[in-house]
Copies of this chain bind each other. A is one copy, B any other.
Amino acid sequence: MLPPWRSPLARALHRNRSLAYARYLQLATVTPDGRPTNRTIVFRGFLESTGQLKFITDDRSEKVTHLHTNPWGEACWYFPKTREQFRLLGQLILISADSALSPPLQQARQQQWQELSDAARLQFAWPQPRQPRTSASQFNPPPPDPIVPVANFCLLLLDPTQVDHLELRGDPQNRYLYRLADAGAWEMQAVNP
């Protein structure tokens, strides 16, 4: 059964679909020394019929290091047209080339790679992120295989256990808190904004 917050989230995505950047959201993780980090990432849909959000990442990026010491992430997703915000807290699951994960997850990683644009795939062949800028020629590598993902390409899943939905347009405003209870069932509560 789909989690109950998927329906309002799907509605927000639909109503904001004219804005390409309505699929951009911000993901916070925590560094090994306990500092918050935050960056914009692109929503790539849900993993099949689950509540797990799909993103892509490069295993050379800093956030991948963070996950080894702290698997938690909170995504903050603001929809400009409908003026609503979703905050999704959960554990992050990294599907890398060497993950000892189930074949369906490896298959999801491969499929995600195949669905990317050529330009998006090319970025995974770029030189090491956040290192001193290298020469321009290194940003024009041969295009990677469009079928078999490069080793540093990862699928990243966010598996929410709490979702906080705020509608600024309400009168006064509406806010709903969804929590995954211990028994595995979602509970929803209307709360003060």
Q: A80-B19, A191-B131, A191-B132 are in contact. Are A37 and B26 (CB under 8 A)?
A: no
Question: Are B89 and A35 within 8 A (Cβ)?
Answer: yes
Question: Are B35 and A192 within 8 A (Cβ)?
Answer: no
A30 to B34, CA, bound (A): 8
Q: How many residues of A contact B (CB 8 A)?
A: 46
Let me know if A7 is at the binding interface, CB within 8 A.
no
Question: Are A39 and B76 within 8 A (Cβ)?
Answer: yes
**Closest residue of B by beta carbon distance from A26:** B26
Let me know if A72 is at the binding interface, CB within 8 A.
yes
Q: A26-B38, A80-B19 are in contact. Are A191 and B72 (CB under 8 A)?
A: no
Let me know if A46 is at the binding interface, CB within 8 A.
no
**Known contacts A21-B80, A38-B74, A132-B189; 17 further A-B pairs (Cβ under 8 A):** A21-B78, A26-B38, A27-B38, A28-B38, A35-B70, A36-B72, A36-B89, A37-B74, A38-B38, A40-B76, A123-B193, A126-B192, A126-B193, A130-B177, A130-B191, A132-B192, A134-B192
